[in-house]
Amino acid sequence: MSSEPQQTLARSASVSGTSLHTGEKVTLKIQPAPVDFGIKFKRRDLEDEPTIDATIANLKTVERATTIGEGSMRVHTVEHILSSLAAMGIDNAIVEMDANEPPIGDGSARPYVELIKKAGIAPQETPRRVFDVREPIHVETKSGSLLVVLPDPKFRISCTQAGPNGQFTQFFSSEITPAVYEREIAPARTFVFYEDVQPLMDKNLIKGGSLENAIVIRGDAVLSKEPLRFPDEFVRHKILDIIGDLALFGQRIRGHVIAVKPGHGANAELVRALAREFARSAPMLESHAFPPGEGGLDINQVMELLPHRFPFLMVDRIARFEGETRCIGVKSVTINEPFFGGHFPGHPVMPGVLQLEAMAQVASILMMKITKSSGRRLGYFVSADEVKFRKPVYPGDTLFIAAELTKSRGKNLARLKCSCSVNEAIVSECELMLTFMDQ
């Protein structure tokens, strides 16, 4: 999670034009959407007006563009509009179209940035989901593309673009912010090498292409309706495409993307690698250190709220509260725990029932915060459902205990989804029903 709020559009806005590959006339409208909605495309020209999530799970083809689909429905060339929405800070939106491909405009993302600014940006109450890259992630393709993501407190992209035989090799590196994107990335237009034009036409592509919406490179010559907007316009457009393809990951990234000869196929492989890493590490706290200014609790504050004491206090601290309905607690498991003397002493393992107790204690603290209660209230088990113990917990492990409110009835009854994790893997989980009583 992040302390930054999710954002949507303040109002609807539309633009019309010609699609690059299909050559059809199309009107595209962007509309606000609720929190955690993500980006969805709606085909107004089809029966029942189906919608599709812009996610890597729905990726269909990467032939000179990024195409998503579900069943027989397709939305082609989504990378420019996705790039603009992501870079300008839009987390939730509906993109309506009356054809299967957005308008190409001038071949850049600038028309979409202008469209977003016309619609306006509205903050939402729920925190933005952010994936912090903590270990290097890389993909390499047979065609020579290499993409690496390294840990970084910001979202950065460093890209090297090279044509055939190293022709027009260019490099650009920058942190990606809305202001940087609008000024340095969005105006960069799509480009194609002359020798690729006929093969693309033979594949029934680029029907709407012209020198007004693309740059054609022929030998050492650059053919375009207007002069280059940047000396390194080609690599900047590659970064534009990377941002759009990474939007299929579904959440913000804090990390440094280093790309050599990227393309839609390699970009998609990187998104899949990010998704795998996220699935592996999702249960974990984004940072193991106390996040400054985000409201964790030290052990003294924990003991002010909970009546438990040694040896039954199972929470060393609350690392952070995530929004209004989730928090993460921490317990360091040491060989000095009294239960290790009698629980498999030759092979010490933390009892599962005590992991359950740790989850209940963190859940109680969360509910006291939500209901603005003091430590004069006690949380009691009503039920524990869907209890699973997946991996053993040993001395030396650090237990990260997550509790998230899923349903409540007044201030006295609540259902929460809880889990314990060690080394980025869930070791136990359950759904708890708690009731609260005054002491």
Please give the positions annotated as active site.
264, 343
Helices 264-281 and 233-246, axial angle in degrees (round to 10) = 40
What does residue 238 show for φ and ψ, rounded to 5 degrees? -60, -40
- Helix or strand or coil: residue 209? coil
CA distance 94 to 108: 21
Segments of 133-271 assigned E as strands: 137-140, 146-150, 155-161, 170-175, 191-193, 215-218, 221-223, 252-260
Contacts 24+ apart (CB under 8 A), 275-280: 275/56, 275/249, 277/133, 277/135, 277/137, 278/131, 278/249, 278/251, 280/424, 280/425
CA distance 420 to 357: 11
In this structure, are residues 20 and 206 in contact, taking their beta carbons and an 8 Å threshold?
Answer: yes
For 175-205, b/e burial (b = at least 16 CB within 10 A) is ebebeebbebbbbbbbbbeeeebeebeeeeb
CA distance 369 to 106: 52
- Helix or strand or coil: residue 411? coil
Helices 79-87 and 233-246, axial angle in degrees (round to 10) = 80
CA distance 283 to 299: 23
Q: In terms of C-beta density within 10 A (0-12 exposed, 13-18 middle, 19 or more buried), how is residue 244 classed? A: buried
Residue with tokens 């709606």: 42
**Amino acid found at 270:** L
For 270-282, b/e burial (b = at least 16 CB within 10 A) is bbbbbbebbeebe
What does residue 189 show for φ and ψ, rounded to 5 degrees? -95, 155
Q: What is the DSSP code string of 316-332?
A: SEEEEEETTTEEEEEEE
